[in-house]
C-alpha cells in the first residue's frame, strides 16, 4: 500500500470538490490573516464519527453518505445493505482505508487549539493541525467492529470503485500531539458503540 499518511506541510492536491472547498477556505483565512492580522488555527478533520457517550447528541441527516451512519441504518433495517466501492484496493483486505476520529476527541482538539490561540503560545499568525487518530481502518474493519459491539450481522455488497475515492487516507498527528499536547483516547469501537446507543434511543 502506498504511503498515504497526511502531514500538514505536504503539497495539497484535492481529488474531489469536498476537499477543494476546504482548501479554498483555508487559503482565504491565510489571506485574511496576512491582510488584517487575524490569528487562527485550522483543524484538518479526518472522519468524525460517533456520538456523545451519554447518547444525548448524535448524527442524523439526509441524504446519508457516511459509512458509519449507513452501517447503523442497515443494522436498524432502515437500509437494505452497505455498498462497498471496490475490494481490490491496495490495502490488506482490499477495501478503502480511512481515519475515524471520535467526536469527543475532536472536541478536545478544538479546546486545545483555542487555548493555544488565547495564550498566544504559537507566536504565529496561523497554524494548521491534523486531527485524526493516525490509524487507518478499512471499510470491512469498520463493519466487523460494529458487528462485534452490537452483536448484529450486517448485509453488504461489493460494487465497482467510485470515482474520486482514494485508496487510503489517515492523519500524521505528530504536530498536534506535540504542540497542542493533545492526542486521541478512543478506539474504533468507541464511536461505533456510542453512535449505536444514540440511534437506539431515537427508535424508542
**95-to-141, 181, 201 alpha-carbon distances in Å:** 9, 33, 31
In whole angstroms, give the CA distance from residue 80 to residue 35: 52
Closest Cα partner for 114 from 28, 41, 34?
41
Helices (H), the chain: 17-36, 67-75, 103-119, 139-150, 174-180, 189-202
For residue 199, the SS3 value is helix
Q: In degrees, to the nearest 5, what angle opens at C-alpha 134 toward C-alphas 133 and 138?
A: 90
Active-site residue, selected from the candidate residues 18, 45, 156, 170: 18
Nearest 10 degrees: CA dihedral of 62, 57, 172, 167?
Answer: -30
3-state secondary structure of 191: helix
Indicate if 32 belongs to the active site: no
Please calculate the CA angle 68-71-76 and round it to the nearest 5 degrees.
Answer: 130
Point out the residues that are catalytic: 18
Amino acid at each position: 500500500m502506498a504511503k498515504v499518511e497526511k502531514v500538514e506541510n505536504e503539497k495539497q492536491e484535492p481529488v474531489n470538490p469536498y476537499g477543494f472547498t476546504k482548501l479554498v477556505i483555508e487559503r482565504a483565512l491565510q489571506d485574511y490573516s496576512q491582510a488584517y492580522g487575524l490569528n487562527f488555527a485550522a483543524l484538518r478533520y479526518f472522519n468524525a464519527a460517533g456520538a456523545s457517550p451519554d447518547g444525548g447528541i448524535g448524527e442524523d441527516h439526509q441524504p446519508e453518505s457516511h459509512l458509519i451512519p449507513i452501517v447503523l441504518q442497515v443494522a436498524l433495517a432502515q437500509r437494505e445493505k452497505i455498498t462497498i466501492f471496490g475490494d481490490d484496493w491496495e490495502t490488506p483486505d482490499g477495501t478503502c482505508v480511512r481515519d475515524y476520529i471520535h467526536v469527543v476527541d475532536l472536541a478536545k482538539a478544538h479546546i486545545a487549539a483555542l487555548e493555544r490561540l488565547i495564550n498566544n503560545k504559537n507566536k504565529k499568525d496561523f497554524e494548521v493541525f491534523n486531527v485524526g487518530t493516525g490509524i487507518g481502518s478499512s471499510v470491512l474493519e469498520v463493519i466487523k467492529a460494529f458487528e462485534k459491539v452490537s452483536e448484529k450481522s450486517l448485509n453488504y455488497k461489493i460494487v465497482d470503485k467510485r470515482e474520486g475515492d482514494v485508496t487510503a487516507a489517515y492523519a500524521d498527528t505528530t504536530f498536534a500531539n506535540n504542540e497542542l499536547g493533545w492526542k486521541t483516547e478512543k478506539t474504533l469501537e468507541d464511536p461505533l458503540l456510542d453512535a449505536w446507543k444514540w440511534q437506539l434511543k431515537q427508535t424508542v
